[in-house]
Amino acid sequence: MGLLDQKFENGNVIITSMDYLLNWARLSSIWGMQFGLACCAIEMMATGASHYDFDRFGTFFRGTPRQSDVMIVAGTVTLKMASRIKTLFDQMSEPRYVISMGSCSNCGGPYWEHGYHVLKGVDRVIPVDVYVPGCPPRPEALMEGLMKLQEKIRAESLAKKKSA
Amino acid sequence: MIPQEISDKLKNKFGDAILESKTDGVIDPFIKVAPGKIEEIALFLRDSEDTLFDSLMCLSGIDYTKGKLGVVYHLHSMKWNHKIVLKVDVSVEDPHCQSVQSVWKTANWHEREAYDLFGIIFDGHPDLRRILLPDDWEGHPLRKDYQVPEYYNGMKVPY
């Protein structure tokens, strides 16, 4: 895409499609809801810290689901927490996305066999868009997950009606 | 005081509430106690001058299988720097034990955990309810004969 200000030599008129503009605006400022549950939360904090800066993607963590675009589920999801996750996901306004970070929220992780209290994968209660594997995933992996979500948003079309 | 002396002191005071004591050997020497007297014994151990067990390090539940559950108390004294282990046996049909919450406040949450995971009911506990699992969970998971449920509130539990 390039930097915007170097694109216009004379005049401030751009011609693009509405989809492209809207999607570019949305993917460049994905506000995430911080939902660190367990050890993956530490890696999410490391991604947000200065070494592997998350802020340069336009992301910063909001405390409430009402103001966020993406919910990064980082950590083990227990059955006790799963009903709360459903409530919080319902409180997010569309368009909303979910990144499942780490093995525990992808598929139950190391607790898949004997964990009687663990929900084997957060996709049993909410729809997930991007799965980031790892235990815990490195900060670079989480950033790649966010970039994949950005590509997914780039390919979307808000102007056309979604089929029900 | 060495464990043998503590065991003798308890036997002198409480007689047949002390069921068994194994104070030799290298690993934790323990004293087995009747469940109806544990609170009195705990108070005595905490307040008596030469034992002074003012810190309950840990309280855990055990499932011995064959219809027996148990509670284990690890005590430590900060002044004299000695430790002792107390054990209590209860049966599955009548899993009642006295609560030592009034002696050491830390037992409050430890007993809630033993109730949650084993089903041991502590008489005299002010707020005995589940602490780790959801409140409407059925069953006590750390018992050896526990079956993992198929569904919980519409969510499939096994992999």
Continuous segment of H or E residues that includes residue A53: none
| pLDDT surpasses 50 at A164 | no
Q: Do A125 and B155 touch (CB under 8 A)?
A: yes
Query: pLDDT 10s per residue in chain B (159 long)?
Result: 788 888 888 888 888 778 888 877 777 788 888 888 888 899 988 888 888 898 999 999 999 988 899 999 999 999 888 888 999 999 998 889 999 999 999 999 999 999 999 999 999 999 899 999 999 998 899 999 888 988 888 888 888
* A120–chain B Cβ distance below 8 A for any pair: yes
**What are A90-101's pLDDT values in tens digits?**
999 988 999 999
Q: Are B155 and B141 in contact (CB under 8 A)?
A: no
| pLDDT surpasses 70 at A18 | yes
With CA atoms as reference, report the closest residue to B57 among B73, B45, B44, B80. B73
For residue B105, count CB atoms less than 10 angstroms from its CB and return exposed for 0-12, middle for 13-18, buried for 19 or more.
Answer: exposed
Q: Are A65 and A33 in contact (CB under 8 A)?
A: yes
Q: Are A120 and A76 in contact (CB under 8 A)?
A: no
**What are A30-71's pLDDT values in tens digits?**
999 988 999 999 999 999 999 999 889 998 888 899 999 999
Q: What is the pTM of this model?
A: 0.81
Q: Are B103 and B43 in contact (CB under 8 A)?
A: yes
| pLDDT surpasses 70 at A5 | no
What is the dihedral sign for C-alpha B132, B93, B36, B89? Answer: negative
pLDDT reported for residue B107 = 92
What is the dihedral sign for C-alpha A90, A91, A94, A96? Answer: negative
The backbone torsions φ and ψ at residue B27, rounded to the nearest 5 degrees and listed phi first, read -80, 170
Q: Do B133 and A80 touch (CB under 8 A)?
A: yes
User: Which residues of chain B are within 8 Å of residue A112 when distances are taken between CB atoms?
Assistant: 159
Q: Do A79 and B146 touch (CB under 8 A)?
A: no
Fold of B3-133: Beta Polymerase; domain 2 (3.30.460)
* A86–chain B Cβ distance below 8 A for any pair: no
Measure the CA–CA gap between B95 and B119, rounded to whole angstroms: 7
With CA atoms as reference, report the closest residue to B86 among B98, B71, B96. B71
Tally of CB atoms within 10 A around B113: 16
Tally of CB atoms within 10 A around A15: 4
**What are A117-135's pLDDT values in tens digits?**
999 999 999 999 999 999 9
Measure the CA–CA gap between B119 and B129, rounded to whole angstroms: 10
Q: In this structure, which amino acid lies at residue A78?
A: T
Tally of CB atoms within 10 A around B106: 15
Measure the CA–CA gap between B75 and B42, rounded to whole angstroms: 9
Measure the CA angle with vertex B43, ends B81 and B47; round to 5°.
50
Tally of CB atoms within 10 A around B97: 28
pLDDT reported for residue A101 = 93
Buried/exposed A146-161: b ≥16 CB within 10 Å, e otherwise: beebbeebeeeeeeee
Measure the CA–CA gap between B76 and A40, rounded to whole angstroms: 36
Residue B90: how many CA atoms within 13 Å on its side-chain side? 25
Q: Do A116 and B148 touch (CB under 8 A)?
A: yes
| Average pLDDT value over all residues in chain A | 88
pLDDT reported for residue A138 = 93
pLDDT reported for residue B50 = 86
pLDDT reported for residue A99 = 94
Q: Do A117 and B141 touch (CB under 8 A)?
A: yes
User: Which residues of chain A are within 8 Å of residue B153 when distances are taken between CB atoms?
Assistant: 79, 83
> What tokens does B148 get?
């993992």
